[in-house]
Amino acid sequence: PRTAVIVVAAGSGTRLGAPAPKAFVGIDERTVLRHALEGVFAAPPAQVIVVAPAGYEGEAESDARAAAGARGDLMRVVTGGQTRQQSVAAGLAALWGDVETVLVHDAARALTPASQIAAVIRAVSEGDGTGIVPALPVIDTLKQVDGDAVVGVADRSQLVAAQTPQGFPRARLEQAYERAAQEGAEYTDDAALYAAAGFAVQHIPGTATAFKITTPADLERARMLLAPRTT
């Protein structure tokens, strides 16, 4: 395939506070990572790179094998880094073959539908070197504060909440990552890093179920969504 999906799963999950790294916490009988990979392998065929925490490569490999099914030859597990950006860089270094489009996806967005992954792939291929970010409108009123004081209000119509996967032409994404490494700059997401290299980024509609499992309440929400209906 000309498309690769880098699934970053190397974080520790400090805010979730579970005994295991977040990607290896069970939602139901399946882990966060396993659920994320089920979505990835249900999307159009792509090479899949799973970026695991040091010491968890074996667990990542078995989740990936189970999710990949007949597509097992399309996946590879590598070890991540201290920051998400370093983990993505490790994933980029592990690409093989003639990949032209790269998606970067948070394992923590475990319930992201395959349709969202497919939509990002499609938008990158239709774009002219543009980075693609799935995003949702912001619902809350966002206040700008200075200590305790509310000093302003953000214009919601000019804001969206970014999700993953975010998709990019490979050559430009690699160029942007090299630039960030040289400058020692850390960005909040791949789209910001890509934009900092001077490349355009566009957003497409995201999905509510692509929310990121960050806190215990988020994990509870994922469990509710997966629970069998009782009525």
Tell me if 9 contacts ligand CTP by CB under 6 A. yes
User: Using alpha carbons only, what angle is made at residue 79 by residues 18 and 96, rounded to the nearest 5 degrees?
Assistant: 135
Task: Closer to ligand CTP by CB, 127 or 131: give it.
Answer: 131
Name the binder of 9 from ligand CTP, Mg ion, none, CB < 5-8 A by kind.
ligand CTP
Half-sphere exposure of 150 (CA within 13 A, CB side): 6
Q: What are phi and psi of 219, to 5 degrees?
A: -65, -40
Tell me if 11 contacts ligand CTP by CB under 6 A. yes
Which residues between 111 and 150 bind ligand CTP (CB under 6 A)?
none
Q: Which region, judged by CB under 6 A, interacts with ligand CTP, from 7-15, 121-129, 136-144, 153-161?
A: 7-15
Site string for Mg ion, 1-40 (x = CB under 5 A): ----------x-----------------------------
Q: Which residues pair with 99 in a beta bridge?
A: none
Tell me if 10 contacts ligand CTP by CB under 6 A. yes
d(CA 27, CA 55): 21
Minimum CB distance to ligand CTP, residue 186 (Å): 11
Which residues between 167 and 226 bind ligand CTP (CB under 6 A)?
212, 214
User: Using alpha carbons only, what angle is made at residue 161 by residues 32 and 75, rounded to the nearest 5 degrees?
Assistant: 35
Tell me if 38 contacts ligand CTP by CB under 6 A. no
Type of residue found at 56: Y
Secondary structure (DSSP) of 64-95: HHHHHGGGGGGEEEEE--SSHHHHHHHHHHT-
Q: What residue ranges bind ligand CTP (CB under 6 A)?
A: 8-15, 22-23, 51, 80-84, 87, 106-108, 212, 214
